[in-house]
Amino acid sequence: MPTLLPLLLLLAAPTPGRVVVRSTHYGAVVLIDRAPVGRVPLAPLPQPPGLHLVEATAPGRPRWSQLVFVPASGDVTVEIRWPKRAAQAAKVRRRDQPAPPPPPRVRLRGGSRIAGAWARAGADVDLTLWWRLTGDRLADGWRGVLAGRSTADLAGERRLWRRVQPERGAVVRLDEAWLGRAAGGGELALGRLVLMGPGGQAFGLDGARIAQTWQGVSLGLLGGRRVVQWGPAPEVPWAFGAQLQGAGPVEWRLAHMIHDRTHHLDASATATAGEARYQALARTVDADAAELSGRASVSLGGLRLWGQGAWTAARRGPFEWRWQPAGVFEDVPRRALAGRWGLSTTGGPWRGWADGAIRGATDGGWRQHDGGLGVRRRLGPVTLGAEGRARLSTGVGPAVYQAARPALTGGWRAAGVSVTAAAGAAWIDLPNDAPQWLPHAAVTLRLGRLGGLLLTARGGIEALHPAWAAGAGPTLTTATLGVSLP
């Protein structure tokens, strides 16, 4: 039923993970997926599960970036470090002695998770293992990555909870396995790569990437077979692309990719002036305009303001699939005009945020009005907060429904141990259906660095809509237990 799509998306949305930023460069601006999120030091940042691009900028330093995978209900730690400047290094070494090469660095991260869901209709329990081995500054400039995950269905075959992701038997997936060498401002990498394509979308490629930098301008070429298991399977999985980008007062980027006989072209620019930041993006698919957008943000003392506008077309091409999971407050149609704005506080014991958005189809068939408000207060090791979101929409189509989601949150953190709790409800009013309140509650426990490991436990209960889960029971109980190397 098309009217049940928003409710299905809401109940299927997995629990966000968190990006934990660690850095000694206080004041550096941190960005996630090209959007500024604050300055170092930062509290853990909730993010949807999947691949995210983490970047950092600081005066007089090149842009730092790293692609990370955020697990559901888990944390991923990002260490932002810039190498020492050549002038500083020259002060601590003799002129007649060359600088010693940096020592090689090899790091292993990994973890496991058991997730289960129980309802009257049955149960489902899955085991997930993931690992990531990175080597940097190896012999003669070599570095590489070996990363993957496996999933095994321990009990049950019914998909009661999307975060469990049941499989028949065991499935092993190799996400990254590549070896590269950097020398003279250039770099060559060969193997299974994770790259950013047009529109900032991550994809896997079995092939090669070569890049060369001259005086702040970088040229990159790539080619190979796209890993079709990370998205819709194209008829022609071969992909070839080129990217030209430059740094300076205005950072710019031009990217072109040929994939599945479709040409994707992106042009973007970012400018920073004091505490203000401006971004612009233009995208075409086979010479047809696909998206035009602009964004501006400014920090005024302890307040950050931002706004953006965008026009998106219905035709986005087979490459433009979304890794982030959809929810009740995500866009359903693709062809629309949209305006968004918001503000947030960045310091003090009180933290708050508010945002709003108006979206509408270009043919006038529907319109959505969104709003959100949240506040958080820290009292020593205790944090209390409240938040809510709402959507009012008019017109016809699957994007037209009314929804509200208030919630109360609380947390306690001390000596590396944290406990967080949340309780609330989702009010859904679908066409041709009576409005319903669907309560939910969850508790999460994290034991940091227990014997060098990070332990995470989570339990939750939520009400099910009878139209979506007929016969499954009125409630769904979920539990997750994870162990990982920080």
pLDDT at 169 over 80: no
pLDDT at 373: 96
Q: Which fold has domain 2-83+105-484?
A: Maltoporin; Chain A (2.40.170)
pLDDT of the residue at 199 = 61
Instruction: Give the residue extent of every domain in the chain.
Output: 2-83+105-484
Q: What is the DSSP letter of 2?
A: G
The answer to whether residue 318 scores a pLDDT higher than 60 is: no
For residue 120, what are the CA distances in angstroms to 114, 218, 403, 436?
Answer: 20, 57, 27, 20
Of the candidates 425, 426, 369, 365, which has an alpha carbon nearest to the alpha carbon of residue 398?
365
- Across the range 77-106, mean pLDDT stands at 64
Residue 95 has pLDDT above 70, yes or no: no
Q: What is the pLDDT of residue 327?
A: 41
With tokens 């077979």, the residue in question is 225
Q: What is the pLDDT of residue 224?
A: 96
Q: For residue 187, give Cα distances in angstroms to 143, 202, 210, 275.
A: 10, 20, 6, 33
Q: Flag whether the pTM goes above 0.75.
A: no
Write out pLDDT tens, residues 407-436: 999 999 988 899 999 999 999 887 877 888
In the predicted structure, residue 190 carries a pLDDT above the cut 90: yes
What pLDDT was estimated at residue 328?
42
Given pLDDT bands bounded at 50, 70 and 90, which one contains residue 162? low
Task: State yes or no: pLDDT of 101 exceeds 80.
Answer: no
The residue count of the chain comes to 486
Write down the mean pLDDT value for the chain. Answer: 82
What average pLDDT does range 440-465 have in this prediction? 88
Q: What residues have CB less than 8 Å from 369, skipping those under 6 apart?
A: 356, 357, 358, 391, 392, 393
| Residue 160 confidence (pLDDT) | 65
| Mean pLDDT for the stretch of residues 214-230 | 87
Instruction: Give CA angle at 282 (278, 288), nearest 5°.
Output: 165
Least confident range from 80-94, 152-166, 236-250, 425-439: namely 80-94
Could you give the percent of the chain with pLDDT greater than 70? 82
Task: Please give the average per-residue pLDDT across 57-66, as a whole number.
Answer: 82
Beta-carbon contacts of 384 under 8 Å, excluding residues fewer than 6 positions away, are 376, 377, 409, 410
Instruction: Give the per-residue pLDDT at 82.
Output: 79
pLDDT at 207: 97
pLDDT tens-place string over residues 253-312 = 999 999 888 888 889 999 988 889 999 999 888 888 888 999 999 988 888 999 999 988
Name the DSSP letter for residue 41: S
Question: At which residue do the structure tokens 């007062």 appear?
Answer: 249
Convert 135-157 to b/e letters by CB count within 10 Å (16 or more is b): beeeeeeebbbbbbbbbbbeebe
Q: Where are the beta strands (DSSP E) in 328-452?
A: 336-345, 350-360, 366-379, 382-395, 402-414, 417-429, 436-450
Q: Which of 370, 470, 430 is nearest to 7 (CA)?
A: 430
pLDDT tens track for 76-85: 888 888 766 5
Q: Tell me phi and psi for residue 140, to 5 degrees.
A: 55, 40
pLDDT at 84: 61
Residue 103: what pLDDT? 82
Mean pLDDT for the stretch of residues 170-179: 88
Longest dimension (CA), the chain: 82
